[in-house]
Chain A
Amino acid sequence: MNSKLAIRDLNIHFGDNHAVKNVAMEVAENSVTAIIGPSGCGKSTVLRSINRMHDLTPSARVTGTIMLDDTDIYGRSVDPVTIRRRVGMVFQKPNPFPAMSIYDNVIAGYKLNGVLKKGDADEIVESSLKRVALWDEVKDRLRTGAVELSGGQQQRLCIARTIAVKPEVILMDEPASALDPISTLKIEELIEDLKSKYTIVIVTHNMQQAARVSDVTAFFYIGELVEIGETRKVFTNPEKKQTEDYITGRFG
């Protein structure tokens, strides 16, 4: 397998706070990589560096390289907007646009790119919503507001919005943490299904979830990458003591 993302010497500071330290890791194409670790260890911070979300935070400083195929994401001549079109993101809390209908939320990314023919839009909406298993639930009310959906439906809508623009990589930051077990299961099935087309990096606090959905697991502790390896191996036979303590719940 090719490596889709290659992170080297990644250091991230917020003012004086050295939040991510010398991280190096690779992510294979069409795989699911789970990032686990205790709260505050820098999982979200690493994830958000992959589509340059830290550009919005004035105090944040990112150094090192992140290669997306042959492009250095933090290269001088690289436009963050083109990077974000290639690397989509799903957030912890569902954040559909409340002033838009379900339909318009799905094609929101296309509204940025200019005109979209009506027929094409219909097709994109239908196929995206089918992918996230939301189509049957909303096909009769596509024009109603997105906030009328339940939390789990909203999150699936946000995933549909992300995959509608066909990114190469999808970043997910605890996408199921606010959801009930059934919605969570749907999202996990969805991730399994998305893997064939996309490269996925997912942050999760849920060990079983990481074990179920991911091919590779990375364990972080206080800003450092402690261990990364095949999920089965990390969970059954970790190399580091810290990892073992964490996954067996003998921590702190």
Chain B
Amino acid sequence: MQNSAQGIKGDAIFRGFTLLLACSIIVILLLMTAEMVKESLPAISRFGWRFISGSTWDAVQEEFASLPYLYGSIVSSILAILLATPLSIGTALFITELAPRKVGAATAALVELLAAIPSVIYGLWGILVMTPWLQSTIQPFLIEHFGFLPFFRGAPYGVSMLAAVFILMIMIVPIITSITKEVLMAVPSSQKEAAIALGATRWEMIRMAVLPYGRSGILGAVILGLGRAIGETMAVTMVIGNTPKISLSLLSPAYTMPSVIANEFAETTTKMHASALMEIGLILLFVTLVINFLARMLLWSVTRKWKGGVA
């Protein structure tokens, strides 16, 4: 009797404690947002919508607008995700379905390792190895053969939007691969057997049973990769060239929202400069939340169709 009474009391204490933790997370998020809004108010009231539509960034004239950063962030992330998704799904399929067991396990371990490397290391590799290589080989090739497209015009600088896309791709492939691998491993063998027994080849089995079963999980993995790409600061800052210009050409240097915040926050000269950076932070937060929201909507619409089935 006493024991169970104690148990009930312990339960209540535990519940209260976890509730407190959950609430404190929400409170912290709200406080942070409120603080950011407060700090960016001077910029918001001075520039209004111009802050999002304009492209001047001049600390001396105190004229600030963020479109090049927004553009740089979104374009680099989206291109990176477009390249990384097929590569990651392919790698995950190789690990789970195609490779001999030992080779698969070794590949999986390698992928986990890549996911754990700090981003500054990727950045260093990007500066020391990748960018010189882009400058000497890839970019001249693109200019020569695809220079008629607006995306590959200009001179080969090395540091560029292209470099950022590549480094982001390399950084998010391990994450997407690793989650996709888990998702694929969770596909029940009864599903694979169903396809095989109908006379499916291995590839047809993957297309008919494995990928459809895992699609919502894979989608989640991709969205997570997108979130990581948009927020990535260090490695991108090191290879993108940090030039706030909007150019269709992937060979031109560009700039992203996290990069400008990281580069300029420590040396702001005026209140307005700091406030403008805060507002960029606010936009970044907003974009991230929107992506997460869209991801949830997508997942929800995919899983809803199956009802009580698998998710």
Using a CB–CB cutoff of 8 Å, the interface residues on chain A facing chain B are 51, 53, 56, 58, 81-82, 84-85, 88-89, 91, 93, 95-100, 108-109, 111-113, 145, 147-148, 158, 161-162, 165
B271 within 8 A of A: no
Decide if B209 touches A97 in the complex (CB within 8 Å).
yes
Q: Which residues of B contact A53 (CB under 8 A)?
A: 193, 196-197
Given A93-B190, A99-B212, the answer on whether A84 and B198 have CB atoms closer than 8 Å is yes
- Measured CB to CB, the closest approach of chain B to A148, in angstroms, equals 6
Q: Which residues of B contact A165 (CB under 8 A)?
A: 198-199
The size class of the interface chain B forms with chain A is: 20 to 34
Decide if A95 touches B194 in the complex (CB within 8 Å).
yes
Q: Which of B25-33, B34-42, B125-133, B200-208 contacts A (4 or more CB under 8 A)?
A: B200-208
The CA of A53 and the CA of B213, in the complex, are separated in Å by 21
Decide if A56 touches B196 in the complex (CB within 8 Å).
yes
Closest 9 CB pairs of A and B: A147-B309, A99-B212, A85-B199, A89-B197, A95-B190, A109-B198, A98-B309, A84-B199, A95-B194
Q: Which residues of B contact A112 (CB under 8 A)?
A: 198-201, 204, 208
Given A91-B190, A95-B191, A97-B212, the answer on whether A84 and B307 have CB atoms closer than 8 Å is no
The CA of A85 and the CA of B307, in the complex, are separated in Å by 31
Q: List 18 A-B contacts (CB under 8 A).
A: A53-B196, A56-B192, A56-B196, A81-B199, A82-B199, A85-B199, A91-B193, A95-B188, A95-B191, A96-B194, A97-B194, A112-B201, A145-B306, A147-B306, A147-B307, A147-B310, A148-B307, A161-B198
- From A81, A97, A108, contact of B201 by CB (8 A): A81
Decide if B213 touches A98 in the complex (CB within 8 Å).
yes
A53-B196, A165-B199 provided; 5 other pairs, C-beta below 8 A?
Answer: A53-B193, A88-B197, A95-B190, A112-B208, A147-B310
- Measured CB to CB, the closest approach of chain A to B248, in angstroms, equals 38
Decide if B191 touches A88 in the complex (CB within 8 Å).
no
B215 within 8 A of A: yes
Q: Which residues of A contact B188 (CB under 8 A)?
A: 95
- From B193, B196, B204, B310, contact of A98 by CB (8 A): B310
Residue from B191, B196, B199, B310 whose CB has the most chain A CB atoms within 10 Å: B199
Decide if A84 touches B208 in the complex (CB within 8 Å).
no
Decide if B199 touches A56 in the complex (CB within 8 Å).
no
- Measured CB to CB, the closest approach of chain A to B149, in angstroms, equals 35
Decide if B305 touches A108 in the complex (CB within 8 Å).
no
Q: Which residues of B contact A58 (CB under 8 A)?
A: 101
Taken residue by residue from 280 to 311, chain B's Cβ proximity to chain A (1 for < 8 Å, 0 otherwise) reads as: 00000000000000000000000001111110
